[in-house]
Structure 1
């Protein structure tokens, strides 16, 4: 599984629950956004974003999110959700996700999200702190260091 998620610095393991399946006997499309959310929060923990939000009142909100379904997932299974930041701007960043099924041994789903920084005290967009940008760049650089040399 690890080779399928090369380039993703944060990998979240999620067991598929029976109740996540729908009448067509596969995981319902809405559930994938929960999987992405779980992976996003793991990424945020790794860059101490939630701690920074407690101190500054500035934190993340979703501006946009999407999902591409490649193959159905069914119970029982274990999923590995890779998350990374692919683009940084002054007030936002783009996250990308890939979901790998342990049972199928393949990427079943991909997605992305635009995360906008928001000042919850003033109800306005905010810019990212230099420290946050640095933590994201450091986490992403870790993946580059782990890549095998061709």
Structure 2
């Protein structure tokens, strides 16, 4: 099973008063990884319809441990756990991976995304080309969040 890997930079402004990345900032990190996956990588693979519009129907996030600001980016792995007719579920892990393969997971999360026709102002079906692209990243294993 393939996962999309995104190196997400940490910004000084992401920290809260307690010296770690604020909980709400993690949603921005997920968005950055999802855009890189669904817009950039999908378009490069010939499935660029997602860039025409999509909306988030649901987020679920579990905070595992605090993430402190540093100059190195954090790794966000993204994969697909469900493909429906007009929605999909994307799962994520925000983590560090040491040279020896040891992982430190900060967040597990999932997002329900609905493709959206902006011109018509309504949801749309997932196209066969999009489905084929998403299927390459399909895994039944959700990202540690309660289902």
- So what's the TM-score if we normalise by structure 1? 0.78
In structure 2, how many angstroms separate the alpha carbons of the residues matched to 1:86 and 1:41?
17
- What pairs up with 1:91-106 in 2 under 5 angstroms? 91-101=86-96, 105-106=103-104
Residues 40-90 of structure 1 deviation map (CA, whole Å, 9 limit, x = unaligned): 011112222883256xx5x31111112110000001143100001100000
Aligned to 2:25: 31
**Higher helix fraction (1 or 2):** 1
Structure 2 unmatched ranges of 5 or more: 140-147
Aligned residues: 132
Q: 1:8 to 1:36 in 2, by over 3 A?
A: farther
Larger Rg: 1
Structure 1 unmatched ranges of 5 or more: 1-6, 144-150
- What pairs up with 1:77-116 in 2 under 5 angstroms? 77-101=72-96, 105-116=103-114
1:105 positional shift: 4.1
SS at 2:48's partner residue? helix
C-alpha RMSD over aligned residues? 2.3
Aligned to 1:52: 49
In structure 2, how many angstroms separate the alpha carbons of the residues matched to 1:102 and 1:25?
22
